[in-house]
Chain A
Amino acid sequence: QKEVEQNSGPLSVPEGAIASLNCTYSDRGSQSFFWYRQYSGKSPELIMFIYSNGDKEDGRFTAQLNKASQYVSLLIRDSQPSDSATYLCAVKRNTGFQKLVFGTGTRLLVSP
């Protein structure tokens, strides 16, 4: 079992719809959870961070965390074609260490 698992996709949604991206992790010691966006041929960039159970909203993005189920998700409201990218989920095990473990990413395609 991989430490961080994501469906590779592609996840296809029409413009204006809600895109839901999911991630599960195996290490219950994981403390912090990150969503990175990576456009084709570019480097990853951080878009959301969450460490408490529940929801965290930032503009059109909402991160959801359920530590009991070891599940983290990213919702993108009013999806735009410019949101088309690969979304990487990453977890940090211990707040004292800086090591992130990444999933393989979910490719999102938003059609006009």
Chain B
Amino acid sequence: DAGVIQSPRHEVTEMGQEVTLRCKPISGHDYLFWYRQTMMRGLELLIYFNNNVPIDDSGMPEDRFSAKMPNASFSTLKIQPSEPRDSAVYFCASSFGTSGGEGSYNEQFFGPGTRLTVL
């Protein structure tokens, strides 16, 4: 398997423009996560999906951010309009679900990330 695939790897845009980040999870994984990483705030969970349904979007910073998962093999994170403070590395990760019992764990496999720069 190719692992989690993200595109583009780098994006430079101007303030006010729309930005769309894309993710293809590992085949068969039923959880998909979008994270944002900055030096100041570290790795923050923005939203995650289970079986294509958004479960927790409490980390989405504001209405300018939206995420969709139209099918099991594709997700998008959109920022409209973009602002300089959105500059960060955005990671997508996927995993299997677990039974939920103590000791159960689900390794989240991360994609290579998209480095976004908003000028």
Contact = CB atoms under 8 A, between A and B. Distances in A.
B101 A99 contact: no
A104 B42 CA distance: 4
B45 interface: yes
A88 B42 CA distance: 9
Contacts of A88: 42-43
A25 interface: no
Interface of B: 31, 33, 41-45, 48, 50, 56, 91, 95, 97-98, 100-108, 110-113
Nearest to A49: B105
Contacts of A34: 105
Given A98-B48, A103-B42, A104-B41, A46 B112 contact: no
Contacts of A32: 103-105
Contact of B50 (A31, A52, A98): A98
A51 B97 CA distance: 17
Contact of B43 (A98, A99, A102): A102
A69 interface: no
Contacts of B91: 43-44
A43 B42 contact: no
B48 A51 contact: no
A80 B41 CA distance: 28
B45 A99 contact: yes
A60 B41 CA distance: 30
Nearest to A6: B42
Contacts of A100: 45, 108
A104 B48 CA distance: 20
A109 B78 CA distance: 36
B110 A43 contact: yes
A42 B100 CA distance: 30
A90 to B, nearest CB: 8
B43 A51 contact: no
